[in-house]
Amino acid sequence: MEQHEREQACFVGIDVAKRQLDVCIRPAGLIFSVGRDGAGFEELVARLREVRAQLIVLEATGGFEQVVTATVAGALLPVVVVNPRRIRDFARACGQLAKTNTLDAALIALFAARVRPELRPLPDEPTRHLGDLAARRRQVVEMTTTERHRPRQAALPRIKMRVATHIAWPDAELASIDGDLDQAIRDSELWRHQEALMISVPGVGPTVARTLMTELPELGQLDRRSLAALVGIAPMNHDSGQHRGRRSIRGGRSVVRAKLYMAAWVACRWNPTIKSFCEQLTAAGKPRKTVIVACTHKLLTILNAIIRTNIPWQKA
C-alpha cells in the first residue's frame, strides 16, 4: 500500500522566467505554461490544488521567484526554493545537457521526486525587507571596494578626480542603507534581542549579526554539525580506495561563510575562547587557513548555542 501511495505522489517543478512560468507535474508528465501575472497565478494555484502536489520546487532566479513562491505558499501548498547549483549538478548527473524552459521544468520536477529537498518556513515580509537591505549593502560595499582600487590604475589626475567623485556616492548610499537597517532592527523587538545576543560575542559586530539574521534563520534550531554543513564550513572527505585525500570545505551559503570567516579573524585576537583555541591549533602545527576555518566553525557553534539558550556571551 505504501509503495502504491509513493508512486502516486505528485511532484511539481516550476521554471520561472520574466514573463511566464513553465510547469511540469510528475509522474503524470503533465506540462503547461502560465503567465507570470495575476491570471496566471490563479490558474497555477488551481491546477496545483487539483493534483494535490506533495512537493513543489522552484529555483532561486534572482528575485523573479519571490512573488511565485509567496503566491503558492499563501495557498498553503508545500513549496521550496532551491539553489540553482543543485539543479545544475543534478542535470549533469542525469546526463542532461540540453536546456529549454520546458526541459528545465521537467528536470526540476524530477529533482523534487528524487531528492525531495526539505521544506523550511518562508521568511515573512519584514524579514524579506531586512534581507533586501542587507543584500543591497553588500552590493554597495563591493562597488566601493572596486572603485577604491581604480586610482592605482589611473595615470591621469583628471581620471583620479572622477573616481574620487564617484566614490562619494556609494559612501553616502552605504550610510543611508545602514540607517535603514538600524531602523528595521529597532522596529522589531525580536531582532533587537537577537542582535544584542550575537554582538555580545567578542569579534561579532552588527554586520555579521544582521547577515546571520537574514541569511541563516536556522541559527539556534539545528545541531552544530548540521549548521556547519549548511554554512559550508564542515570539512568534507576526499577518499577513494587506499587514497586518503585532504579534507576541505565547499558549498553552503557563501555570504554567511564569508562574514563568519572575517569575524573569526577578529575573534582570534579579541575573543579569549577563540584566541586560546587558535593558539592550541597553531602550536599543534596546523596550517593557518585550517586554523581559521576551525575557529570559524567554533564561532558558529558559540553563536548557535547563544541563540538556542537565549543567554548572552559569558567569559569563561
Is 121 a member of any domain? no
Q: What is the DSSP letter of 36?
A: S
Residue 233: predicted pLDDT: 84
Q: ∠159-162-163 over CA atoms, to 5°?
A: 90
Burial of 125 (0-12, 13-18, 19+ CB in 10 A): exposed
Same domain for 42 and 100, yes or no, is yes
Q: Is 63's pLDDT higher than 90? A: no
Same domain for 288 and 178, yes or no, is no
Question: What residues does 24 pair with on adjacent strands?
Answer: 13, 31
Is 242 a member of any domain? no
Give the domain-ending residue among 90, 115, 140. 115
Same domain for 205 and 267, yes or no, is yes
Is 120 a member of any domain? no
- Summarize pLDDT for 208-251 with one digit per residue, the tens: 998 898 888 888 888 888 888 888 887 655 445 554 545 555 66
Q: What is the DSSP letter of 248?
A: B
Is 95 a member of any domain? yes
Same domain for 203 and 311, yes or no, is yes
- Summarize pLDDT for 102-142 with one digit per residue, the tens: 899 999 999 999 999 888 766 777 777 777 788 788 888 88
Is 141 a member of any domain? yes
For residue 305, the SS3 value is helix
Is 303 a member of any domain? yes
Q: Which domain holds residue 86?
A: 2-115
User: Cα–Cα distance between 262 and 208 in angstroms, integer?
Assistant: 9
Q: Is the peptide bond before 121 cis (omega within 30 degrees of 0)?
A: no
Same domain for 75 and 50, yes or no, is yes
Is 315 a member of any domain? yes
Amino acid (1-letter code) at residue 287: P
- Summarize pLDDT for 64-101 with one digit per residue, the tens: 787 888 788 878 888 988 888 888 889 888 888 888 88
User: What are 232's three cell numbers?
Assistant: 559550508
Same domain for 39 and 109, yes or no, is yes
Is 192 a member of any domain? no
Alpha carbon distances (Å) from 194 to 15, 59, 82, 113, 116: 36, 30, 26, 37, 31
Same domain for 275 and 313, yes or no, is yes
Same domain for 210 and 298, yes or no, is yes
Rg (CA), the chain: 23
Same domain for 257 and 310, yes or no, is yes
Same domain for 180 and 257, yes or no, is no
174 Cβ contact partners less than 8 Å away, ≥ 6 residues apart: 137, 140, 141, 144
Give the domain-ending residue among 80, 115, 150. 115
Cβ atoms of residues 199 and 191 within 8 Å: no
Give the domain-ending residue among 150, 165, 187. 187
Q: What's the start-to-end Cα distance of the chain, in Å? A: 56
| Helices 64-74, 38-51: crossing angle, 10 deg rounding | 50
Domain count, the chain: 3
Residue 34 dihedral angles phi and psi, to the nearest 5°: -135, 160
Same domain for 207 and 164, yes or no, is no
Residue 273: predicted pLDDT: 93
pTM greater than 0.85 (yes/no)? no
- Summarize pLDDT for 252-287 with one digit per residue, the tens: 788 889 999 999 999 999 999 999 999 999 999 998
CATH number of 85's domain: 3.30.420.10
Same domain for 56 and 76, yes or no, is yes
For residue 235, the SS3 value is coil
